[in-house]
Structure 1
Amino acid sequence: MGKQVRKAKVLSTEQITPHLQRIVVGSDDFSDLTPAHIGSYVKVLIPQNGQVDFNLKTACMRSYTIQNVDPASGALTLDFVINMHNGPATLWASTAQVGDDVGIAGPGPKKLDNYQHSHYVLLGDLTSVNAIKGYMQQLPQSAKIDAFVHVPTKQDIIELHTQRIANWLVTDTPDTDMLSALNNLPQTNEAPIVFMALEAGLVRKAKTLLTQEYNIPRSNIVSSGYWKKGVDSEGYKKERQQSPELA
């Protein structure tokens, strides 16, 4: 990810579903950002006590996928999960006001970089739904895509702005239902490229299923545990710093 840190302000904030807060941030420093960055991620430097620490070594930071980029101004739309997990980012997103200061670092590259394949499997939840959205929009039209996104309520299903169909799993038992959905994956001649960004424990289970039952090479799987059940965001961040393979 680029080291550039941009000073920005909240332009708008709206709770769009029971568990998503959509915040638009803008800055004169966003002139180089374009819709091509949709699906990439930025680091949000979360204000603490109303103050933003713009030092990347000491700031409270969280990664968020870009939901949209205003083509004229470069303003970024970001979706924050709320009412599910506690932490500084959730608290800030729930209480942010128009005009509040915030820091943005990046954007960084998309996790998935192979756009020449014939079949993709995309697995996500509310923390990664905009990464799924970006790939569904940008992968070649000739490719087959099987996308599964689990959400806690029907009201959390959002528009992905693509003609491709996502399979929405409305469930409070994603560990069971996501793996059940994978058991029904269609067989194809070529092993698919898999992108998954989910709860860390579910990532491990899904990866085991895909490699052992479907013989998908590990090199075909791009995975990331965006959060971990039973561990707060600070604790999980420390775990990933100590064990980079968890990221």
Structure 2
Amino acid sequence: MNRRPPPRTLEVLRKQLLTPHMLRVTLGGIGLEGFPEDSNGGYIKLRLAEPIDEAGKPLVRTYTVRHHRPELRELDVDFVVHESEGPAASWAQTCQVGDVIQVGGPGPKKLLDFSADWFLLAGDMSALPAISANIERMPADATGYVLLEIIHEDDRQALDFPPNLQVDWIVNSDPETPNSILLDRVKTLTWLAGRPSVWVAGEFSQSLAIRAFMKSERKVTRDQMYASSYWQIGHTEDSHKVSKAGIQA
């Protein structure tokens, strides 16, 4: 029986504020030796020494590998920073170059079906690293839509979108108030001919609503869609995991 490899001890190499609400922490060092290549878009588990959970164990939080540079032994992890941030984002803001953290994984990438006729990606800033990894793998002639909910106009990132994609950056300055901003925009899209590949992630209620709309109104089948949630308004990550079991597609 295969066993999970032990977590790696990685060092904070540098930090960069990409946009007003997105902070990149670059991890690396000898502990990254042997980390699987082609891991961009996969997930890792950050083991936070402080605080501990109710069982007295260090908190573990899941994040996307934004970039992996094996030749440099470097790994980029992007964190959304905002007013009521969780323990992982707090760690990202307070950690210093030279600090260490244990990292498990990587887990598998959640990718579009690149053989589809067209694509729809929708998500908020928590999903932006995974969406970016998908965009980088898209065929050059890809068509479809990318809907990105950001907190501020300046949170746009310079991504290399295929030219035939329609890209909408949707500003929501108060993402922690229940809303349907992303769903409302999805409903306005002209449905294209052919077989779609749909990828949706972000806040729980929005992802659940978009998933339901795709199934009921657009007749998107399970094999044509990936839908997940990365956080939930008013919930800790641990309580969100209970809700998430009902959204994962």
Query: TM-score band, normalised by the shorter chain?
Result: 0.7 to 0.9
**Displacement after TM superposition at 1:101 (Å):** 0.9
| Amino acid in the other structure paired with 2:28 | G
CA drift of 1:208 comes to 1.7
Contact 1:32 1:74 in 2 (8 A): no
Q: CA offset at residue 10 of structure 1?
A: 0.4
Aligned residue for 2:17? 15
Shift in alpha-carbon separation, 1:246–1:216, aligned structure 2, 3 A = closer
Gaps of 5+ in 2: none
Q: Could you tell me which residue of structure 1 aligns to residue 146 of structure 2?
A: 147
Aligned alpha-carbon RMSD (Å): 2.5
Q: Does 2:172 align with 1:171?
A: yes
Counterparts of 1:34 and 1:61 in 2: how far apart (Å)?
A: 21
Report the counterpart of residue 38 of structure 2 in structure 1: 36
Aligned length: 238
Deviations 1:133-186, CA, capped at 9 Å, x for gaps: 111110223432311110010111122244455321112477333122212323
State the distance in 2 between where 1:185 and 1:113 align. Answer: 19
Question: Which residue of 2 is the match for residue 134 of structure 1?
Answer: 133
Deviations 1:78-133 (A, max 9, x none): 11111243321122111010011101111111122633212111111111101111
The DSSP-based 3-state class of the residue aligned with 2:50 is coil
Structure 1 residues 6 and 194, CA gap change in structure 2 (3 angstroms): same
From 194, 207, 210, the equivalent of 1:206 is 210
Alignment of 1:153-192 (within 5 A): 153-164=152-163, 166-172=167-173, 175-192=179-196
- TM-superposed deviation, 1:191: 3.5
2:231 to 224, 227, 231: 227
State the alpha-carbon separation in 1 of the partners of residues 212 and 174 from structure 2: 18
For 1:245, the equivalent position in structure 2 comes to 246
Q: Is the 8 A contact 1:117 1:143 kept in 2?
A: no
In 1: Cα distance, 2:189 partner to 2:35 partner: 37
TM-score when normalising by structure 1: 0.86
CA contact (8 A) 1:18 1:156 kept: yes
Structure 1's consecutive aligned runs of 4 or more residues displaced over 6 angstroms after TM superposition are none
Answer whether contact 2:207 2:227 (CA < 8 A) is retained: yes
Cα distance in 1, alignment partners of residues 226 and 83 from structure 2: 25
Q: If the length of structure 2 is used for normalisation, what is the TM-score?
A: 0.85
Amino acid aligned to 1:23 = V
Identity of aligned residues (%): 26
- Return the offset for 1:62: 1.0
Q: How far apart are 1:35 and its partner, in Å?
A: 6.4
Query: For each residue in 1:30-62, what CA deviation from the matched residue of structure 2 results, as whole angstroms up to 9, or x when unmatched?
Result: 23347622111111112316xx9xxxx943111
- SS in structure 2 opposite 1:201? helix
Aligned to 1:5: 7
Cα displacement string for residues 180-207 of structure 1 (whole angstroms, at most 9, x for unaligned residues): 2212323222241111111100111111
Paired amino acid for 1:170: V
1:81-100 mapped onto 2 (5 Å cutoff):
81-100=80-99
- Give the whole-Å Cα distance in 2 for the aligned partners of 1:78 and 1:125: 16
* Paired residue secondary structure (2:246): helix
What residue in structure 1 maps to residue 58 of structure 2? 59
Partner Cα distance (1:189, 1:162) in 2: 21
* CA distance 1:58–1:150, change in 2 (3 Å): same
Q: Which runs of 5+ in 1 are unaligned?
A: none
- Aligned partner of 1:196 in structure 2 is 200
Distance 1:115 1:170 in 2: 28
